[in-house]
Amino acid sequence: MDKILLLFCEVFFKSSNRWSVLFAIVRYIGLYKMFEKSGVKGWWTFIPGAREYMLSKCAGREPEGRVYSIVEVLSIVLSVISLFVPSMVNDEFTIAGVFIVIGAVTLGLVSFIYVIRIWSGILDVYGLRKRWLFLCVFSFSRAVVALVLGLNNKYQPAWQVEDIQNEMAKLASSGSASVMNEGLTVNLKERTVTEFFQKKTLLRDIHMSIPQGHMVLLLGGSGAGKTTYLNAINGYEKANAEVLLNGTNLYTQYKKMQYEVGFVPQTEMMRGKDTVLSTLLDAAKLRLPKDVSSKQRRERVDEVMGIFGLKPVQNNLVEKLSGGQKKRLSISMEFISNPSLFILDEPDSGLDGVMARELFEQLRKIADTGKIVIVITHTPDRVIDLFDDVIVLAKDSARTGRLAFYGSIEEARSFFGRDRMEQIVKSVNRKEEGGDGLADEFVMKYAEVHHG
């Protein structure tokens, strides 16, 4: 019976002494009332793991909460195991005891890191100064902070979990972009995955039509869904969407359209011991239709090498090329099929200003032939004059990638009230990521302007 009571205290109160029981009562009352203030059912307070996850949602730090809740459950499991596995025999540690100690220390350190992150978010939500964070470092004082925030009506959260989710849900666009017979039309309802035993929406309500001959910049902070969006467009990761290129559905007629889309990932995938010529000939075999003759393939390879200035180094090994030459070769491999839609993920990564400028000028020439070119770059302002339009993706309060803007460069500057593209990205980034935290504001503004 004593062992059962001890186990109950370990699991429920983390200790068997009276002070820990008092500490737990203070903690549970505080969290219960905080949850209610944030629109979360208070009874989640009493479920280990779920309690930490719900607290993270109240703090607007859901991703951190997933890790924190798992760590909490593992800590409880380890505590239970330690009750039944002898840690010491004759004043000496057992092997099991060593592993229990190592596990406890590791979980404790990880838990500490995520406690600070989540409670930092709680302080932001309640509008408290960061000096309060010192009280959140220690378990007992953290319980007191929870009690104060929960019981004192002076302290109210800036938003409620359900209210934010419902408010952002209201922005679900019932409209769609008009289908263009010549150009790219994207009507994306949502792109979802299953994470942490629940459906998570990565992207939502992104509608646009891009005319032929346009070079488009894709902006967004880390985690805003830029690469996910590009993968949805090119069919690599299908979404609940309709994507049409020159009037043809890329999803339903993918086999027919696979040569019409070129995608250049950030990572270069080339064999260093091959020559430039052999690399492009191999690419031609893969990317050109099967009925294209070897002569026609060679002619196309020569044409592409001429476009990207690779003829002088056609017999050089890939590993001997400069950084700029490797980038041009990587792009050439995808351009072999002469795609109508050309997508590039950070093609200027690792290039200096001059080399990057030359590369983007070449992409501008490609767009001027009637192609659609969509580019992600983290240094857009040095080449912004070469772009026609800009797409801005941003994470809303539910951590979902949303369309904050699509239009011309000048329209973007007016819409955001910023001259530089880096400033626009900063405006929609979350505050904990060094941004201004205005994503919801601009997502709402764009939705209201374009969808009424």
> Above 60 in pLDDT, residue 137?
yes
Integer angstrom CA distances of residue 37 from 30, 219, 359: 11, 35, 53
Torsion of CA 203, 113, 38, 146, to 10 degrees: 180
Instruction: Note the pLDDT of residue 285.
Output: 86
Integer angstrom CA distances of residue 443 from 134, 166, 168, 207: 34, 14, 9, 13
Instruction: Note the pLDDT of residue 85.
Output: 72
Which fold would CATH assign to domain 167-451? Rossmann fold (3.40.50)
215: number of CA atoms within 13 Å, CB side? 19
Instruction: Break the chain into its structural domains and give their ranges.
Output: 2-158, 167-451
Pairing assessment for the beta strands 401-408 and 389-395 based on DSSP bridges: antiparallel
Q: Which of 18-27, 123-132, 238-247 is the least confident region?
A: 18-27
The 10 Å Cβ neighbour count of residue 451 is 14
CA–CA dist 68, 135 (Å, integer): 19
First to last CA, the chain: 66
Q: Which long-range contacts (CB under 8 A, 24 or more apart) does 10-13 make?
A: 10/76, 10/79, 10/80, 10/83, 11/48, 11/76, 11/79, 11/80
Are the beta carbons of 108 and 147 closer than 8 angstroms? no
| pTM across the whole model | 0.69
Return the closest-CA partner of residue 328 out of 345, 347, 312, 341.
347
pLDDT single digits (tens) 239-272 = 888 999 988 888 888 888 888 888 888 777 778 7
> Above 90 in pLDDT, residue 223?
no
CA–CA dist 384, 219 (Å, integer): 12
> Above 50 in pLDDT, residue 11?
no
> Above 50 in pLDDT, residue 13?
no
Torsion of CA 44, 46, 52, 54, to 10 degrees: 10
pLDDT single digits (tens) 167-212 = 555 555 455 667 767 889 999 888 887 765 567 788 888 999 999 9
